[in-house]
Amino acid sequence: MFKIQTLNNISGKGLQRLPSESYEVASEVDKPDAIMLRSFKMHDMELPESVVAIGRAGAGVNNIPVDKMSAKGVPVFNAPGANANAVKELVVAGLLMAARNITPAQQFAAGLSGNDDEISKAVESGKKNFVGYELPSKTLGVIGLGAIGLRVANAALSLGMKVVGFDPQISVQSAWQLDSGVEKAVSIDQVFTKCDAVSVHVPLLDATRGLVSAQRIAMMPKGGVIVNLARGGICDDDAVLSALDTGHLHAYVIDFPTSKLLKHPKVISFPHLGASTEEAEENCAIMVADQVREYLEDGTIKNSVNFPEAFMPRGGGGKRITIANANVPNMVGQISTILATANLNIADLLNKSRGDIAYTIIDVDGEVSDDTVVSLKGIEGVLSLRVI
């Protein structure tokens, strides 16, 4: 029986992928094998020693101490692209809300009173205060052309906007899907210089913290809009607020409100709602539940943010050993020597690496004794080992 601890609500459609005959899934579990979560902040959490995998039902992993997990040989899985359409749709909504002054207009309409004639008169005289603009008259800059950014760029083009994109590390897959009408910027500064609205779709990293700065906002034409459905911290909120105050910026669309931002009338705040659709929640939960299950049952690695992809079909009736270790020379040599000494024949072997981590799957003919496990774990650089 595998035990999974959930730290957030995970869609039932995903949890159904973990059959109750072989999985216990609950928010309180003694000695869990794996953890599934969404935005729960794990940084200060005491991780049970029993945990061998973390599954993030979403894209961003800044709430997970990934480096610490790597040092323990624990793979962290996420669900790339599974909520991208949901976020794209909310970005489009945010652009339209800003362009058409929808929040103040809606507040004005909701506050009207009197009989129908009086309301009609107030409507006709009040609407001049909310005159907006249409999207095709504007240029959108998209920073980060991954699963979300590329969809935002393509959607904005289809709404008639001009679109400028920037992503120096764009993946081949994203490049294939990006509409050829998206102009490629050579620098982030160029995006701000050319664009009336800028939407950020990058992970929160040291390199992206404060990416939307006072200097860059100043490069934008007057009346600009910033959209940040990526993470708080990517924009310098104080710089954004002062640009809203001077009128240099028209609106700030943010999925991560703070007390300062909530008070400002030109801030359009959402409650971290980007991925909150039934479809996205299901997609993420299904993807990550499948990945965690395949890892627990077969040691397969798919869509991990810290481990290499690793899949080896399971043959024969023997045991499978999986080993995560430091990516240094002669690890496979040392492992094979110990297996040979234990008189275990290697039926199949896969060794992959990514950065500082290497991962080996070995199918052996026969049982693996406790002594052999102790010897393998004793090799310098072995971070984690499982016998499945």
Ligand X SMILES: O=C(O)CCC(=O)C(=O)O
Restricting to residues 89-128, which ones interact with ligand NAI according to CB under 6 A? Answer: none
Please tell me whether residue 287 binds ligand NAI under the rule CB under 6 A.
no
Q: How many other CB atoms sit within 10 Å of the CB of residue 236?
A: 19
Rounded CA-CA distance 294/300 in Å is 6
Please tell me whether residue 277 binds ligand X under the rule CB under 6 A.
no
For residue 88, the minimal CB distance to ligand X (Å) is 13
Restricting to residues 133-152, which ones interact with ligand NAI according to CB under 6 A? Answer: 143-149
Restricting to residues 54-73, which ones interact with ligand X according to CB under 6 A? Answer: 58-60
Please tell me whether residue 81 binds ligand X under the rule CB under 6 A.
no
Please tell me whether residue 233 binds ligand NAI under the rule CB under 6 A.
no
Q: Are 306 and 66 in contact (CB under 8 A)?
A: yes
Rounded CA-CA distance 71/328 in Å is 14
Please tell me whether residue 42 binds ligand X under the rule CB under 6 A.
no
Residue 345 main-chain phi, psi, to 5 deg: -80, 135
Rounded CA-CA distance 17/234 in Å is 35
Report what 268 binds from ligand NAI, ligand X, none; CB cut-off 5-8 Å by kind. Answer: none
Stretches 5-13, 91-99, 116-124, 195-203: which one binds ligand NAI (CB under 6 A)?
195-203
Residues touching ligand NAI: how many (CB under 6 A)?
33
Stretches 24-32, 76-84, 98-106, 244-252: which one binds ligand NAI (CB under 6 A)?
76-84
Selected from 13, 29, 39, 354, the binder of ligand X by CB under 6 A is 39
Residues whose CB is less than 8 angstroms from the CB of residue 55 and which lie 6 or more positions away in sequence, other chains included: 34, 35, 36, 37, 77, 78, 288, 289, 291, 292
Q: Which residue has the tokens 């904005």?
A: 156
Please tell me whether residue 52 binds ligand NAI under the rule CB under 6 A.
no
Please tell me whether residue 266 binds ligand X under the rule CB under 6 A.
no
* Cα dihedral across residues 190, 195, 197, 199: positive or negative: negative
Restricting to residues 320-359, which ones interact with ligand NAI according to CB under 6 A? Answer: none
Selected from 55, 60, 141, 318, the binder of ligand NAI by CB under 6 A is 60
Report what 282 binds from ligand X, ligand NAI, none; CB cut-off 5-8 Å by kind. Answer: none
For residue 331, which of 369, 359, 306 has the smallest C-alpha distance? 359
Please tell me whether residue 276 binds ligand X under the rule CB under 6 A.
yes
For residue 281, the minimal CB distance to ligand X (Å) is 7
Please tell me whether residue 6 binds ligand X under the rule CB under 6 A.
no
Stretches 24-32, 53-61, 148-156, 205-213: which one binds ligand X (CB under 6 A)?
53-61
Stretches 156-164, 197-205, 261-269, 314-322: which one binds ligand NAI (CB under 6 A)?
197-205
Nearer to ligand X, 212 or 362 (CB): 212
- For residues 219 to 258, the per-residue mask of contacts with ligand X, x marking binding by CB under 6 A and - elsewhere, is ----------------------------------------
Please tell me whether residue 149 binds ligand X under the rule CB under 6 A.
no
For residue 169, the minimal CB distance to ligand NAI (Å) is 4
Nearer to ligand X, 276 or 375 (CB): 276
Nearer to ligand X, 84 or 185 (CB): 84
Which positions touch ligand NAI (CB under 6 A)? 58-60, 80, 83-84, 87, 143-149, 166-167, 169-171, 174, 201-204, 207-208, 229-231, 255, 272, 274-275
